[in-house]
Amino acid sequence: MKDSKPRNISRTWETVTEHRPHGEYWGDTLHTVTLTADQHGTLTAQLDGQPVPVADAVRVLHYATRTELIREERTPEPAPVIGKPRAARLHRLMGRVGLPSAQHYALAAAALGEWAPLHSLATLTEQEARAVWVHLCRLYPQARTAA
């Protein structure tokens, strides 16, 4: 089944709401509304640059006299991660070259230029995993033969 729900999209509208109680013109209210869906389809909203509940932003759009779509941005899907099986293999390789298990996450963080140890190797992208591998081989040349 193809899921056609848009992902990683952000749309911004300018709205004008006329206030005419009993036919008498009292003025306009102008707003900028932004709705954003992440890669999981979770919506977030901003009203005039401030975070608001999605229902409030949709209400402003619904009751506006005029709306104009001023911007639509689609961001690329996040890069796929290497997952647990490949992370376990990377852990085994680090262990074979004599790196204590407590230092695996710190070595990966150093390879990526992070200041704190990573929480998981499974969340590395392919490019990040290769950077960790290159760093491991630079520090432990025997890693190439252990693979």
Q: Report yes or no on 18 lying in a domain.
A: yes
> Do residue 68 and residue 87 come from a single domain?
no
Which domain, by its residues, includes 98?
83-146
Q: Report yes or no on 137 lying in a domain.
A: yes
Is a pLDDT exceeding 50 seen at residue 2? no
Tokens of 16: 């004008």
> Do residue 16 and residue 51 come from a single domain?
yes
Instruction: Return the higher-pLDDT residue of 19 and 50.
Output: 50
Model pTM? Answer: 0.54
Q: Report yes or no on 17 lying in a domain.
A: yes
| 3-state DSSP percent of the chain in helix, strand and coil, to 5 | 40, 30, 35
User: Which of 74, 95, 111 corresponds to the end of one domain?
Assistant: 74
Q: What is the dihedral of CA 84, 85, 88, 90, to 10 degrees?
A: -110
Other Cβ atoms less than 10 A from the Cβ of 80: the count is: 8
> Do residue 141 and residue 123 come from a single domain?
yes
DSSP string across 85-124: HHHHHHHHHHHHTT--GGGHHHHHHHHHT-SS--S-STT-
Instruction: Return the higher-pLDDT residue of 41 and 122.
Output: 122
pLDDT in tens, 22-47: 888 899 999 999 999 987 788 999 99
pLDDT band at 6 (very low <50, low <70, confident <90, very high): low
